[in-house]
């Protein structure tokens, strides 16, 4: 977390919005879900990034259309970072198994 955003991410407004996004997205990573993978979300991502210039602009920071639930790996990928994490897929019978099996 960037220093300029610490206060924002501890605010009640953010915590309530994060809980709403979790509920809206049913607790699942939306990028994984698009690929048929059911992975729990771990983070809420700002599609248009927060900067020191817009940190006080709720149309950026608290706009539900600018927020998406992601697992840590997908969040890092959106920021150009990598992490190796197990993922799961659901077959045609609805059976959940590790991806690639």
Q: What is the pLDDT of residues 12-52, one digit of tens each?
A: 999 999 999 999 999 999 999 999 999 999 999 999 999 99
Q: Specify the pLDDT at position 36.
A: 94
CA angle 55, 7, 23 (to 5 degrees): 80
Both tokens of residue 15? 């915590």
């Amino acid at each position: 977390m960037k220093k300029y955003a610490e206060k924002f991410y501890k605010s009640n407004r953010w915590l309530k919005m994060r809980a709403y996004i979790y509920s809206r997205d049913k607790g699942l990573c939306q990028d994984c879900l698009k690929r048929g993978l059911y992975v729990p979300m771990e983070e809420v991502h700002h599609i248009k990034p927060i900067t020191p210039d817009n940190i006080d602009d709720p149309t950026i920071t608290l706009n539900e259309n600018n927020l998406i639930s992601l697992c840590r790996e997908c969040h890092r990928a959106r920021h150009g970072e990598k992490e190796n994490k197990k993922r799961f897929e659901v077959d045609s019978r609805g059976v959940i198994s590790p991806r690639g099996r």
